[in-house]
Amino acid sequence: MTRNVLFLCTGNSARSVLAEATLRAWGGDRFSAFSAGSQPTGQINPFALAQLQAEGMPIEGLRSKSWDEFVDAPPMDLVITVCDSAAAEACPVVFGDFIRSHWGLPDPAAVAGNDADKVAAFAQAHAIVKLRLRALLALPDSLWSDREALQHALDQIGQLQPTDSMP
């Protein structure tokens, strides 16, 4: 069974795109990955594209888009917000019959400084995304039939940092 996963943030130019592209690359036939923003910037941050290319991940078809495009889309099984509420960044509020989880992480697109600082910020954000997606992919299929247990597992995944061990 293929599960539809939507990664949401505000601008849909960095974190949500990193997550979409990575899950597309790793998810096989188990997951279909999408991303969107409540206020999309209209373009993907070039540092996000460079990070994905450096990791050998396909970037074809990626674009910054509004969550409005998903109103008539196939139903989502999982919606994950990746905005950074710790930095007082507004996260999109979504409603529907799907599991929601918040996997907040700092916005690498907000990093000021030289290109090396920005490259490092995107590499760090992608490291967090990859760690969390590895944990998602490691969840047993049987967990998806227990909504409460799945919610708990997803929320725990959303707390993982690169210094943590896998759950």
What digits encode the pLDDT tens for the residues 113-154? 999 999 999 999 999 999 999 999 999 999 999 999 999 999
- Please name the amino acid found at residue 79: V
Q: What is the pLDDT of residues 47-94, one digit of tens each?
A: 999 999 999 999 999 999 998 888 878 889 999 999 875 445 556 556
Check if 91 is active-site: yes
Catalytic residue, candidates 91, 120, 123, 160 = 91
Check if 34 is active-site: no
Catalytic residue, candidates 57, 78, 83, 150 = 83
CA-to-CA separations, 13 to 1, 4, 44, 143, 151, in angstroms, rounded: 29, 20, 4, 31, 26
Check if 118 is active-site: no
Edge to edge, the sheet with strand 78-81 lists 31-37, 3-9, 78-81, 99-102
Strands (E), 18-154: 31-37, 78-81, 99-102
Q: What is the pLDDT of residues 1-51, one digit of tens each?
A: 899 999 999 889 999 999 999 999 999 999 999 999 988 999 999 999 999
Catalytic residue, candidates 5, 6, 9, 17 = 9
